[in-house]
Amino acid sequence: MRTGVFLDYSGGFREAVEHIVVLEKAGVDIALVAEAYSYDAISQLGYLAAKTSTIELGSGVVPIYTRTPSLLAMTAAGLDYVSDGRFRLGIGTSGPQVVEGFHGVPFDAPLGRTREVVEICRQVWRRERVQHQGKNYQIPLPADRGTGLGKALQLINHPVRENIPIHIAALGPKNVELSAEIAEGWQPVFFLPEKADDVWGDALRAGNAKRDSSLGDLDVMVGVSLAVGDNVEDRLNWAKPHLALYIGGMGARGQNFYHKLATRYGYGEVADHIQDLYLAGRKAEAIAAVPDDLVRQVSLIGPRGYVKERIAAFAEAGVTTLLATPVTADSAEYITYVEELQQLLP
């Protein structure tokens, strides 16, 4: 099992990079930068690439709707170049709240667009002439009329790698099946080990049955809130605002993927209550309504022995990379928590 760090998109990035520089020396494998509706992930990843030398870097994740497939590929190739081959492209659909509400772009055909984005990115990295011939990215090229429109283009530069790893954030069964079929990695959110097979097992098996062996085994990359110690029970509350935001506020009723996930975990009534409070503007009450048990089940918060047991549960459920978000405001404690995690890995 690999270790990684998830940088909070709403936190202080410069301070977080200082943590990554230290953790790189400690052997942490990967650092991911998220993108939602704060600063973009790409500029921050470029800064991080300049400050590090060995740790793998990735977007975790960028929405596929906000950049063209070719731009995603160009950007990934550029970040792979400035990081000397250390980048992996994390993509996802995000949701209507971000895509339509913030970017003003229609949220449509998530499965088809995801597949075509991956195909086009790989065309670009192989320096093939890009063909937009799918259902969602389809531009028929007319006969050349002196305008240059009849000639497909290829990337001018020679990428460091023609097979930059792609991981996909996915929650729904069809999206997860697609991820297991075509991507190097899959990034679920709020992963509850004991429920994972019930929720995603069939989809993962269906996708793996169609998987090209050249992709290797699927890297299951799971983010966890992290605090290790005998007196960290209060840190459960630190993780609740994030859960409340996503379960309650990241989408309208009936269009909130995280609410649906909590429901599939058996927290349907609680999820409804959190959503009611959040959409009514009662955010503090929504946060307070998040159960401690749910936080414990999707996090690594507690004494060393307990955290070790939970790591074993994640491993048993198929997790191959743990992406930690230390729940602390203290820099020394941040480093200590991640180092403790490394020591507890099987």
- Give the whole-angstrom CA distance, residue 346 versus residue 330: 27
How buried is 206 (Cβ within 10 angstroms: 0-12 exposed, 13-18 middle, 19+ buried)?
middle
User: What value does the CA radius of gyration of the chain take, rounded to a whole number of Å?
Assistant: 20
**Which tokens go with 96?**
């209507």
Residue 94 sits at φ, ψ, to 5 deg, of 60, -140
Task: For residue range 193-213, list pLDDT tens digits in order.
Answer: 999 999 999 999 999 999 999
Range list of β-strands (E), 61-144: 62-63, 87-92
Which contiguous run of DSSP H or E holds residue 241? helix 235-244
For residue 239, what pLDDT is reported? Answer: 96
- Give the whole-angstrom CA distance, residue 22 versus residue 25: 6
- Give the whole-angstrom CA distance, residue 222 versus residue 181: 18
- Under DSSP, is residue 300 helix (H, G, I), strand (E, B) or coil? strand
Q: For the whole model, what pTM was predicted?
A: 0.94
Per-residue pLDDT in tens (0 to 9) along the chain, 346 residues: 999 999 876 667 888 899 999 999 999 999 999 998 889 999 999 999 999 999 999 999 999 999 999 999 999 999 999 999 999 999 999 988 889 999 999 999 999 999 999 999 999 999 999 988 888 987 766 555 545 555 789 999 999 999 999 999 999 999 999 999 999 999 999 999 999 999 999 999 999 999 999 999 999 999 999 999 999 999 999 999 999 999 999 888 888 999 999 999 999 999 999 999 999 999 999 999 999 999 999 999 999 999 999 999 999 999 999 999 999 999 999 999 999 999 999 8
Architecture, CATH, for domain 2-223+327-344:
Alpha-Beta Barrel (3.20)
For residue 321, what pLDDT is reported? Answer: 98
Provide the residue ranges of all domains of the chain, joining segments of one domain with +.
Answer: 2-223+327-344
Task: For residue range 116-167, list pLDDT tens digits in order.
Answer: 999 999 999 999 999 888 889 877 665 555 455 557 899 999 999 999 999 9
CA 110 to chain centre: 16
CA 107 to chain centre: 18
Omega before residue 118 within 30° of 0, cis: no
- The residue whose two tokens read 């790409």 is 42
